[in-house]
C-alpha cells in the first residue's frame, strides 16, 4: 500500500541544509497496524504528514496504492487524500467556524456521500463518542480531550482505507485512551490499515509492528 524509497525531507537554512528525515525506506502492506515511536523532534509528525500527503518529501520516492505520489499533481494528491486517508492531527486541527456535527461531517462531504447516509454516519460517531449533547458546540467550547475525540471521529467516519493518527490519545485520560485504542484495534481487525504515532508503549502494543525513528532516520523496525 505504501512504499517509501530513500526519502529525505530537509529545509535550507542560510548556510546549510538541515535534514528532518534522511534515507527513509519503509513499506507498509494493506491491513497492517504500525506504530511510529521515537523522541520528540525525531521527525515522526513530519513522516506521518508526508504519508498523509499533507507535506512533501524533498527527495526520494513515495508510492501509495502504486501511484507515484512524488511525481503526481497536487490535485490528484488531494483526491487520494480525500478518498483513502483519515488523519488524526497532533493538534486536533478542527475547523473553528464549524460545529462538532459539521466537523465530523466534512470528510463525508468531500467524499460525496449523500445526505441521509451522512446523517446516519455522523449520528453513529456522535453516539459512539458520547458527544450527542455537544453536537452544536464549536471547538473552542470543548475541552482538549473532547476536541481530540472529535478529531478521531472525523478521521474514521468515512471508513478510510488508511488511518494516520498522530498522538491520538495524548490529551485523553487513560480510560478514554484505551477506548480509542480498542476502536482502532476493531477497525484494523476489519481491514483498515493504521499508522499511529505515540510515546506510549501500551498504545504501541495494540499494533503489530513498531518503527523507531531517531534524528530523522529509522533506528529499528520490528514486528510484535
Ligand X SMILES: Nc1ncnc2c1ncn2[C@@H]1O[C@H](COP(=O)(O)OP(=O)(O)OP(=O)(O)O)[C@@H](O)[C@H]1O
Interface residues with ligand X (CB under 6 A) are 11, 20, 38, 40-46, 90
Residue 82 Cβ, how far from ligand X at the closest point, in Å? 23
Q: Are 104 and 127 in contact (CB under 8 A)?
A: no
| Interacting partner of 139 out of ligand X, Mg ion, none (Cβ under 5 to 8 A depending on kind) | none
Q: Which is nearer to Mg ion, 45 or 171 (CB)?
A: 45
Residue 18 Cβ, how far from ligand X at the closest point, in Å? 6
Q: Which range touches Mg ion (CB under 5 A), out of 39-47, 91-99, 133-141, 176-184?
A: 39-47
Q: Which is nearer to ligand X, 18 or 132 (CB)?
A: 18
Kindly tell me the burial class for residue 72, based on how many C-beta atoms sit within 10 Å of its own C-beta (0-12, 13-18, 19 or more).
Answer: middle
Q: In Å, what is the CA distance from 120 to each residue of 77, 115, 116?
A: 28, 9, 6
Residue 45 Cβ, how far from Mg ion at the closest point, in Å? 3
Instruction: Round to whole Å and give the CA distance between 49 and 213.
Output: 15
Q: Residues 184-194, buried b or exposed e (16+ Cβ, 10 A)? A: beebbeeebbb
Q: Which is nearer to ligand X, 57 or 125 (CB)?
A: 57
Locate 72 and state its grid cell.
503526481
Q: 3-class SS at 207?
A: coil
Please identify which residue in 7, 9, 33, 45 interacts with Mg ion, judged by CB under 5 A. 45
Residue 9 Cβ, how far from ligand X at the closest point, in Å? 8
Among 154, 163, 210, 212, which residue's Cα sits nearest to residue 186?
Answer: 163
**Residue 99 within binding range of Mg ion, rule CB under 5 A:** no
Locate 37 and state its grid cell.
515511536
Q: Which is nearer to Mg ion, 86 or 158 (CB)?
A: 86
Q: Which is nearer to Mg ion, 89 or 129 (CB)?
A: 89
Q: Which is nearer to ligand X, 12 or 175 (CB)?
A: 12
Instruction: Round to whole Å and give the CA distance between 154 and 108.
Output: 9
H or E element that contains 218: strand 217-223
**Residue 148 within binding range of Mg ion, rule CB under 5 A:** no
Residue 83 Cβ, how far from ligand X at the closest point, in Å? 25
Provide the binding-site residues for Mg ion, judged by CB under 5 A. Answer: 45
Amino acid at each position: 500500500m505504501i512504499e517509501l524509497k530513500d526519502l529525505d525531507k530537509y529545509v535550507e537554512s542560510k548556510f546549510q541544509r538541515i535534514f528532518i528525515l534522511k534515507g527513509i525506506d519503509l513499506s507498509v502492506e494493506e491491513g497492517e497496524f504500525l506504530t511510529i515511536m521515537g523522541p520528540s523532534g525525531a521527525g515522526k509528525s513530519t513522516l506521518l504528514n508526508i504519508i498523509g500527503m499533507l507535506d512533501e518529501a524533498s527527495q526520494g520516492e513515495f508510492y501509495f496504492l502504486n501511484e507515484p505520489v512524488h511525481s503526481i499533481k497536487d490535485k490528484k494528491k488531494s483526491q487520494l487524500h480525500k478518498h483513502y486517508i483519515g488523519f488524526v492531527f497532533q493538534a486536533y486541527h478542527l475547523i473553528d467556524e464549524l460545529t462538532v456535527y459539521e466537523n465530523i461531517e466534512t470528510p463525508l462531504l468531500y467524499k460525496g456521500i449523500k445526505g441521509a447516509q451522512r446523517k446516519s454516519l455522523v449520528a453513529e460517531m456522535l453516539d459512539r463518542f458520547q458527544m450527542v449533547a455537544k453536537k452544536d458546540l464549536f471547538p473552542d467550547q470543548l475541552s482538549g480531550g473532547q476536541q481530540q475525540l472529535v478529531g478521531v471521529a472525523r478521521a474514521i467516519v468515512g471508513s478510510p482505507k488508511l488511518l494516520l493518527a498522530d498522538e491520538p490519545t495524548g490529551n485523553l485520560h487513560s480510560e478514554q485512551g484505551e477506548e480509542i485504542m480498542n476502536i482502532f484495534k476493531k477497525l484494523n481487525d476489519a481491514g483498515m490499515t493504521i499508522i499511529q504515532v505515540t510515546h506510549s508503549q501500551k498504545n504501541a502494543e495494540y499494533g503489530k509492528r513498531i518503527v523507531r525513528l531517531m534524528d530523522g532516520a529509522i533506528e529499528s523496525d520490528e514486528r510484535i
